[in-house]
Structure 1
Amino acid sequence: MDVTIPKSLEALVRRKVDEGHYSTEDEVVADALRLMQARDDVAEIKRARLTDAIERGYEDAAAGKVIRLENNDEIDALLADL
């Protein structure tokens, strides 16, 4: 596979090799892609956790497990107890 990248990124890739962080330009690109995949994996995990938390919140609200907070002082007091 041949890939063309912008000149600014090409300079970054070459600098990483020149500084000895990687042996080849291919290694730099492969590592960057692995990091991108890891970032995407973390984002998916965060989305799933948020979805679960929202669902639990809806279930709690439907079951009447709610606390009514009328103002910032009540919110601050609740958060201070956590």
Structure 2
Amino acid sequence: MANTASAQKRIRQTARRTARNRSAMSRLRTFVKKVENAIRSGATEEARAALNALKPELMRAASKGLVHRNLVARKLSRLSRRVRATEAG
């Protein structure tokens, strides 16, 4: 157990930060799932709208250090390619 006041404060800060990060990651995964479900169902307009809603969420997560910027680029690239494939097919 923490013996100093500063160690106890770090534990409190870590708990708050962990809860915030867990919530943000869950929100991010929900946005990604909406895009994937729309692609799977073949709803082109819905998929495009979900992708447009996902973009700023991913950018915000990267700017806050929640996810790496390369992960954002990779996810957006792959998902937008899949959305374009539903439009073509």
Shorter-chain TM-score bucket reads 0.3 to 0.5
* Higher alpha-carbon Rg: 1
TM-score normalised by length of structure 1: 0.45
The structure with higher relative contact order (CA 8 Å, sep 6+) is: 2
